Amino acid sequence: MLPAPFDVLPETAYRVLNLDAGETLFRQGDPSRGIFYLITGSVRLLRFARGGETIVVHRAGPLETFAEASLFVDVYHCDAILEQAAQLVELRRDPVLRQFHSDPLFAMALTSRFATQVQTYRRRLELLAVRSAQERVFTALAEGFLTGDIKTFATEIGLSHEATYRALSHLVRRGHLIKTGRGKYCVKTT
């Protein structure tokens, strides 16, 4: 049920929660209980500007973890509000830290997970820095971002789906991409 490396944790280290849309998982300043893993649904992490405006710090979706840093700090630094009803796993802080200290493989795997995420996010940031839609779509494709459907792909790379379709057409017409099927494209091999 849990993704690696959390699958080695004993049953006492986590519990499954079912929450409705709009419910609060934790609030800024609450003592940190642990990391969370979303099975289904979505959660918004919110902070509040001094003027009172709400700032969405992050939006977590299915199969994602969030609040990882809470392992190493004492309190949550933002609010977590359920966007959609969700089933999620609370990975309790103390048992996870205990595992971290007693099990070097777990420690390594956890660190490796974070390091890989850092890498992935950097790639996405670099991608979003590309101004031209065509170049961005091409790069994203070459980097393997197109896994599901085009609309999801478009959202991930920060373009409207129309702009994405257009860029794809242009790239095919200009010979940089090959269309291998409905909604399927691949980078042309030299």
d(C-alpha 168, C-alpha 186), whole Å = 10
Q: What number of CA atoms fall less than 13 Å from residue 53's CA on the CB side?
A: 5
d(C-alpha 48, C-alpha 130), whole Å = 30
- Under rule CB under 7 A, residue 151 binds DNA: yes
141 vs 167 by CB, closer to DNA: 167
99 vs 134 by CB, closer to DNA: 134
Which of 1, 2, 5, 3 is closest to 111 using CA atoms?
Answer: 5
18 vs 112 by CB, closer to a copy of itself: 112
Q: Compute the least distance from the CB of residue 72 to DNA, in Å.
A: 33
| Other CB atoms within 10 Å distance of the CB of residue 25 | 22
In b/e form, how buried is each residue of 66-104, taking b as 16+ CB within 10 angstroms? bbeebbeeeebebbbbbbbebebbbbbbebbeebeeeee
Binding mask 24-63 for a copy of itself (x = CB under 8 A): -----------------------x-xxxxx-xxxxx----
The letter for the amino acid at 106 is F
- Under rule CB under 8 A, residue 142 binds a copy of itself: yes
- Under rule CB under 8 A, residue 112 binds a copy of itself: yes
Q: Is the dihedral of CA 111, 70, 66, 51 positive or negative?
A: negative
Interface residue with DNA among 91, 127, 141, 159 (CB under 7 A) is: 159
Q: Which residues bind DNA (CB under 7 A)?
A: 131-134, 149-151, 158-163, 165-169, 179, 182-183
Q: Which residues bind a copy of itself (CB under 8 A)?
A: 47, 49-53, 55-59, 68-69, 71-72, 100-101, 104, 107-108, 110-112, 114-119, 121-126, 128-129, 138-139, 142-143, 158, 176, 187-190
